[in-house]
Amino acid sequence: MLRLTVKQNRTGPISGFHPWVFSQALVKIPDGIQSGEPVCLFAEKGEFLALGYFNSYSQIAVRLWGYDSSEKVDGEFFIKRIRSAYDLRRKYIENSTTNAYRLINGENDLLPGLVVDKYADYLVVQFHTRGIEFWKEKIIAALENIVGPKGIYERSDVAVRKYDQLDEVQGLLCGAVPDLITIEENGLQFLVDVKHGQKTGFFLDQRDKRKAFSGYTNGASVLNCFSYTGGFSVYALAGGAKAVTSVDTSQSALELARENIKLNGFHADQCQFICDDVKHYLKNSAEQFDALVLDPPAFIKDRRKKKEGIGGYKSINEMALKMVADKGILVTCSCSNHLTLDEFRFLLSEAGGKAKKILNILEIYTHGIDHTQLVPFTEGQYLKCFFLRI
């Protein structure tokens, strides 16, 4: 295994289990290292620090995946990592009413750059970096060994791959995967399009927020903005909502939302599906709702555009607040990792002031159990969700 030396004054984050090692922290990077090659890190004084893989001659040179100097990187290495992650999810998530969740969450499961989502008997994988893609064959073999899926589909069509000069890739890796997979989540059923849907097909990180939301919807009129395939809409109906309006720009997503509502035995006459830009709809509608969900895509994808993104969040939350009835509920989310929880709370207070609405926080959510987070890996924080009472 290639040995790399870390500057003595840069060992702190590694000793604290942060999973990234920047190129400037290394004493020297030899020429000709292949992305994916296993490396062993040592301090200048000679003590062992960590194991990882070399990723590229870029800012993040090494991504860490182990702290046992005796480990060898082979097929058994990936079996061990995947089994550990799988055991955690089966212990705390998978049961008779839930069979879909994130199985591997990259750095947080000591497999940096790898995402694996489990949808019933099928897996969807994403390889985000050149270094982890080097190990694709062994990773797929380990997934087959540990999970035994009926099929594995690749959705490495993510923008982050461009930083490693990788093309976006998707397609079948093994077995067979249907166009639509029926999953179960907290006893509710959903059709998931893993081949063409957003992310890997479904927003698994909102499972706990959807369940919590159902507790606020009994007898309520509900507006679900950026509704996608109707996750929050179905949960609202399960909680006893009298009427649900779903708004999204994708007609195909709304059609799948309609099917998901039927799949769970709810009546179409309780629902309205509006294909429109959410900002346009909020600006031009005069309706009032007892509960409103605002789950937009990331408005801040680049820290250089943070100010502009914060303005977008404030504007859309102000418009949403004006549509929530007195004593109503607003569930508002941000998945921008460049926006902190405190910053999100502050912009919500400003939006409340402009909308002349007094806001009380009922609940705050971040990642779900399956989207585990290493404590020092603050770069992995992204999801924030406030349950507010007007």
190 occurs within a structural domain: no
Q: Please tell me the predicted confidence (pLDDT) of residue 58.
A: 79
Strand partners, 111: none
Q: Are residues 126 and 272 in the same domain?
A: no
Q: Are residues 208 and 266 in the same domain?
A: yes
Task: Please answer whether residues 328 and 390 qualify as being in contact, where contact means their C-beta atoms are separated by less than 8 angstroms.
Answer: yes
Backbone angles phi, psi at 254, to 5 degrees: -65, -35
Is the predicted pLDDT of residue 360 greater than 80, yes or no?
yes
The candidate with the shortest Cα–Cα distance to 181, out of 150, 206, 205, is: 150
| CA dist., res. 273 & res. 275, Å (int) | 7
Q: Please tell me the predicted confidence (pLDDT) of residue 389.
A: 98
pLDDT mean over 219-244: 98
pLDDT mean over 334-350: 97
Which CATH number do you get for residue 370?
Answer: 3.40.50.150
* Domain boundary pick from 122, 151, 181: 181
Q: 162: domain range?
A: 75-181
Q: Are residues 175 and 308 in the same domain?
A: no
Under DSSP, the state recorded for 217 is -
Task: Please answer whether residues 157 and 171 qualify as being in contact, where contact means their C-beta atoms are separated by less than 8 angstroms.
Answer: no
Q: And the tokens for 387?
A: 């349950």
pLDDT bucket at 311, cuts 50 / 70 / 90: very high
Q: Please tell me the predicted confidence (pLDDT) of residue 325.
A: 97
DSSP 57-118: SSSEEEEEEE--TT---SHHHHHHHHHHHHHHHHHHT-BTTB-EEEEEEGGGGT-TTEEEEE
Q: Are residues 276 and 383 in the same domain?
A: yes
271 occurs within a structural domain: yes
Rounded alpha-carbon distances, angstroms, from residue 73 to 106, 117, 360? 17, 23, 51
192 occurs within a structural domain: no
99 occurs within a structural domain: yes
Rounded alpha-carbon distances, angstroms, from residue 317 to 289, 310, 336, 351, 353? 14, 11, 15, 6, 11
Q: Please tell me the predicted confidence (pLDDT) of residue 57.
A: 77
Task: Please answer whether residues 255 and 262 qualify as being in contact, where contact means their C-beta atoms are separated by less than 8 angstroms.
Answer: no
* High-pLDDT (> 70) share of the chain, %: 100
This model's pTM is above 0.85 = yes
Q: Please tell me the predicted confidence (pLDDT) of residue 326.
A: 95
Place of tokens 């820290």: 303
Is the predicted pLDDT of residue 307 greater than 90, yes or no?
yes
pLDDT in tens, 50-67: 999 999 877 999 999 999
* Domain boundary pick from 66, 99, 117: 66
pLDDT in tens, 237-251: 999 999 999 999 999
Q: Are residues 155 and 228 in the same domain?
A: no
Name the domain count of the chain.
3
* Domain boundary pick from 66, 87, 109: 66
Rounded to 10 deg, the angle between the 341-355 and 306-321 helix axes is 50
Q: Please tell me the predicted confidence (pLDDT) of residue 268.
A: 83
Q: Environment class of residue 107 by beta-carbon count within 10 Å: exposed (0-12), middle (13-18) or buried (19+)?
A: buried
| CA dist., res. 159 & res. 129, Å (int) | 11
| CA dist., res. 343 & res. 144, Å (int) | 42
Q: Are residues 214 and 322 in the same domain?
A: yes
Q: Are residues 149 and 255 in the same domain?
A: no
Q: Are residues 136 and 250 in the same domain?
A: no
Q: Are residues 221 and 321 in the same domain?
A: yes
Residue 277 identity (one-letter amino acid) = D
Region for 299 from its dihedrals, namely left if φ exceeds 0, alpha if ψ lies in -120 to 50, beta otherwise: alpha
95 occurs within a structural domain: yes
pLDDT mean over 190-216: 97
DSSP 302-336: SGGGHHHHHHHHHHHHHHHHTTEEEEEEEEEEE--
Count Cα atoms within 13 angstroms, Cβ side, for 211.
13
Q: And the tokens for 248?
A: 């999204």
Residue 27 identity (one-letter amino acid) = V
pLDDT bucket at 155, cuts 50 / 70 / 90: very high
196 occurs within a structural domain: no
Q: Are residues 219 and 176 in the same domain?
A: no
189 occurs within a structural domain: no
Which residues have a Cβ under 8 Å from the Cβ of 136 and sit 6 or more positions away?
Answer: 127
Q: Are residues 157 and 241 in the same domain?
A: no
pLDDT bucket at 286, cuts 50 / 70 / 90: very high
Region for 118 from its dihedrals, namely left if φ exceeds 0, alpha if ψ lies in -120 to 50, beta otherwise: beta
- Give the distance, in angstroms, between the CA of residue 235 and the centroid of all CA atoms in the same chain: 19
pLDDT in tens, 168-183: 999 999 999 999 999 9
pLDDT in tens, 112-147: 999 999 999 999 999 999 999 999 999 999 999 999
Which CATH number do you get for residue 148?
Answer: 3.30.750.80
Which CATH number do you get for residue 25?
Answer: 2.30.130.10
Q: Are residues 119 and 33 in the same domain?
A: no
pLDDT in tens, 71-123: 999 999 999 999 999 999 999 999 999 999 999 999 999 999 999 999 999 99
198 occurs within a structural domain: no
pLDDT bucket at 303, cuts 50 / 70 / 90: confident
